[in-house]
Amino acid sequence: MTEPTPLDGEQRLDAADFDAFFAEESAARPRQTLTLYGKTYTLPDSLPLMFTLQAERVQHSSDPDDVRSMLATLFGCDTLDEWAAAGMTERQFGVLLIWSGANIKTPGSLTMQGAAELYDQQEAQGKAPAPNRAARRSKPKPKRPRSSGKRS
């Protein structure tokens, strides 16, 4: 990368060193750790931008590779496969993600029990059975008044 050069007659200021600033700021923030399947993980001091971008891009994806790449930004490579091989359930995975998200933002803010309760609440709200095709077709559609086609 090339450095910008000052225009004629301009004074050059010291370069802003964001690398040093972010490293110093990150070192000062507390970080939450967790132990899972005998391995200790340290959560990042804030949600990585790559995680946020990937979450937006793949929010409706069911491709395990999308989940793998998102988890790698938080816990390192191969965690999804390691956890699946260790017998992690869908519920455990959901509880872990809820707990991790809260504790990245504010370490110590949510207990595992609290995360489990939040997961159960979300599951109860989101698992209402959708009517099947026959049930949807059997419901009468509301009648709309006929229109003359004129705009009011």
Residue 115 counted as domain residue: yes
The model's confidence at residue 99, banded by pLDDT at 50, 70 and 90, is: very high
Cβ contact 32:103 at 8 Å: yes
In a domain, 149, yes or no: no
The residue length of the chain stands at: 152
The secondary element (H helix, E strand) that includes residue 105 is helix 90-105
What count of Cα atoms within 13 Å lies in the side-chain half-sphere of residue 146? 1
The rounded percent of the chain whose pLDDT value lies above 70 is: 76
Domains of the chain: total: 1
Query: What pTM was estimated for this model as a whole?
Result: 0.68
Domain that holds residue 107: 33-125
The 10 Å Cβ neighbour count of residue 79 is 19
Residue 101 in domain: yes
Q: Give the closest residue to 35 by CA, choosing from 73, 86, 106, 91.
A: 86
Q: What is the mean pLDDT of the chain?
A: 83
Least confident of 19-23, 59-63, 101-105, 125-129: 125-129
**Residue, of 152 and 11, whose pLDDT is higher:** 11
Judged by DSSP in three states, 72 sits in: helix
How far apart CA 116 and CA 110 sit, in angstroms, is 10
Is the residue at 104 inside a domain?
yes
pLDDT mean over 81-100: 95
Arithmetic mean of pLDDT, 47-61: 85
Q: What is the largest CA-CA distance in the chain?
A: 80
The pLDDT assigned to 64 comes to 85
Give the three-class secondary structure for 36. Answer: strand
Q: Would you say residue 138 lies in a domain?
A: no
Q: Is residue 19 part of a domain?
A: no
Mean pLDDT along residues 101-123: 95
Tell me if 27 is assigned to some domain.
no
Q: Does 139 map to a domain?
A: no
